[in-house]
């Protein structure tokens, strides 16, 4: 692949890398917005398509499955090139968005949003692996942290802009807008991201997906990270699926006020990503992840005691998503170096584990909250996060970056 570490350390490749990061952030902003916009605008889509609201929530559920399917593309990226799979991912988004806008039928929109989800599930691991090849480990937290701005950006920028488009031009407008932006991103990727060179050792390591997965399954560090991703994602979604119901029941909030809660989460995510970019490399990525996990456990545990007033509740939610984002982005930066010879396989497996964890968390969230309120939710999320911490500590015991 690319062997640019020396030039990066001396700063010679900084302008080129800056363009590549800018293109990657732009692509991920579109992909994340396409993946997330069905959540707040599900009622609008159901009315536009003439289907029940449950049909749109089914689309969202199907979209979650793309993270698991995406793990099959990780070994392909390791073998055929990260840039190629990034192009495939953004190409899927573009085709899906235009299809959903041009042919406004439920089955087509279902396929459209599935393609957008698949595009993200293919693009993200390939992009993370690409940056893992390009960026020295001691700067990895900075670069991955900047790249993750696109996640919070989809909440703070992408979703509001989609709302404006729907308000003025109808529910199909975002599909055309994101399809057009997808074309621009595809062209920018082709022009600004250099092709990787051949690496015979890496090619031999990934002669088949089974070989790559077998190699990953024999590594304690990789398995520890995968179980960590599962548990922390389940813990977060255990809260995420009920926080709106909790706020509405406790404080009798309006829809507008619940929207403010979403903005609080978006700002928290952006702040956590910024903190990762600013300090995780200086702290050390292993230490940053462990500190983030400890703060995350604390934030879940104290949330039930912040239910007296609405500002305290919002503050508690901010602290949870701030610490979670700092922890998870630091972990992504760390995991790009766990299996350097099969980076995309590692990152796609991590995403699949996280996606499975989110499904489990969403399934248990409502029953847990109904059984014991926000106190039970906080305790369960804290306990599950502790399991993630245990897996990571066991997996990383004695590990050092190559």
Q: What is the DSSP string of 42-69?
A: HHHHHHHHT--HHHHHHHHHHHHTHHHH
Average pLDDT over residues 7-18: 55
Model confidence band, residue 199 (pLDDT cutoffs 50, 70, 90): low
Q: How far is CA 321 from the centre of its chain?
A: 13
Average pLDDT over residues 51-73: 80
Whether the per-residue pLDDT at 58 is higher than 90: the answer is: no
Q: What is the DSSP letter of 197?
A: P
Distance, in Å, from the CA atom of 125 to the CA atom of 78, rounded to the nearest integer, reads: 10
Whether the per-residue pLDDT at 10 is higher than 60: the answer is: no
**Is the separation of the CB atoms in 116 and 92 below 8 Å?**
yes
pLDDT for the residue 14 = 56
Most confident of 12-26, 42-56, 290-304, 348-362: 290-304
Whether the per-residue pLDDT at 209 is higher than 90: the answer is: no
Count Cβ atoms within 10 A of the Cβ of residue 325 and give its class: 0-12 exposed, 13-18 middle, 19 or more buried.
buried
Most confident of 69-73, 276-280, 306-310: 276-280
Question: In CATH, what is the architecture of 5-207?
Answer: Up-down Bundle (1.20)
- Across the chain, mean pLDDT equals 87
**Is the separation of the CB atoms in 121 and 70 below 8 Å?**
yes
Least confident of 33-42, 300-309, 385-394: 33-42
pLDDT tens, 152-179?
898 888 888 998 899 899 999 999 999 9
pLDDT tens, 86-143?
999 999 999 999 999 999 999 999 999 999 999 999 999 999 999 998 899 999 999 9
- Kindly report the length of the chain: 402
Average pLDDT over residues 342-367: 90
**Is the separation of the CB atoms in 216 and 342 below 8 Å?**
yes
Distance, in Å, from the CA atom of 331 to the CA atom of 225, rounded to the nearest integer, reads: 8
Would you say the CATH fold of 212-396 matches that of 5-207? yes
Domain ranges of the chain: 5-207, 212-396
pLDDT tens, 127-150?
999 999 889 999 999 999 999 999
- DSSP states of 223-276: HHHHHHHHHHHHHHHHHHTTHHHHHHHHH---HHHHHHHHHHHHHHHHHHHHHH
What CATH number should be reported for the domain whose range is 212-396? 1.20.1250.20
- With a CB cutoff of 8 Å and minimum separation 6, the contacts of 373 are 246, 304
- With a CB cutoff of 8 Å and minimum separation 6, the contacts of 113 are 34, 38, 59, 62, 63, 96, 100
- DSSP states of 148-166: THHHHHIIIIIHHHHHHHH
**Is the separation of the CB atoms in 50 and 220 below 8 Å?**
no
The radius of gyration computed from the CA coordinates of the chain, to the nearest angstrom, equals 20
Q: What is the DSSP letter of 19?
A: H
């Amino acid at each position: 692949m690319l062997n640019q570490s020396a030039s990066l350390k001396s700063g010679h490749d900084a302008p080129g890398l800056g363009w590549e990061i800018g293109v990657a952030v732009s692509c991920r902003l579109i992909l994340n917005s396409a993946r997330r916009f069905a959540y707040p605008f599900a009622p609008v889509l159901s009315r536009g398509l003439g289907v029940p609201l449950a049909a749109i929530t089914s689309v969202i559920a199907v979209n979650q499955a793309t993270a698991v399917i995406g793990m099959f593309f990780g070994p392909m990226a390791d073998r055929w090139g990260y840039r190629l799979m990034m192009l495939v991912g953004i190409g899927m988004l573009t085709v899906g968005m235009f299809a959903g806008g041009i042919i406004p039928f439920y089955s087509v929109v279902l396929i459209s949003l599935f393609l957008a989800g698949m595009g993200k599930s293919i693009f993200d691991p390939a992009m993370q692996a690409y940056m893992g090849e390009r960026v020295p480990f001691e700067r990895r937290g900075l670069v991955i942290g900047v790249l993750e701005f696109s996640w919070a950006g989809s909440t703070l920028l992408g979703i509001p802009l989609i709302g404006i488009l729907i308000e003025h031009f109808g529910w199909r407008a975002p599909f055309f807008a994101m399809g057009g932006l997808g074309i621009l991103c595809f062209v920018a990727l082709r022009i600004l991201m250099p092709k990787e060179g051949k690496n015979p050792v890496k090619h031999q390591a990934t002669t088949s997906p089974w070989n790559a997965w077998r190699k990953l399954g024999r590594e304690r560090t990789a398995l520890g990270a995968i179980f960590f991703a599962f548990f922390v994602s389940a813990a977060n979604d255990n809260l995420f699926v009920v926080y709106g119901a909790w706020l509405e029941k406790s404080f009798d909030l309006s829809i507008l006020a619940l929207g403010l809660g979403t903005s609080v989460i978006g700002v928290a995510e952006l702040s956590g990503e910024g903190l990762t970019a600013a300090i995780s490399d200086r702290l050390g990525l292993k230490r940053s992840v462990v500190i983030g996990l400890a703060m995350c456990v604390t934030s879940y545990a104290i949330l039930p005691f912040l239910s007296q007033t609405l500002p305290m509740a919002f503050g508690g939610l901010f602290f949870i998503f701030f610490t979670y984002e700092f922890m998870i982005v630091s972990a992504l930066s760390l995991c790009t170096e766990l299996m350097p010879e099969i980076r995309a396989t590692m990152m796609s497996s991590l995403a699949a584990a996280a996606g499975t964890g989110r499904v489990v968390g969403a399934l248990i969230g409502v029953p847990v909250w109904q059984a014991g309120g926000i106190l039970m939710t906080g305790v369960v999320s804290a306990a599950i996060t502790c399991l993630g911490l245990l897996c990571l500590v066991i997996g990383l015991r004695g590990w050092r970056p190559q």
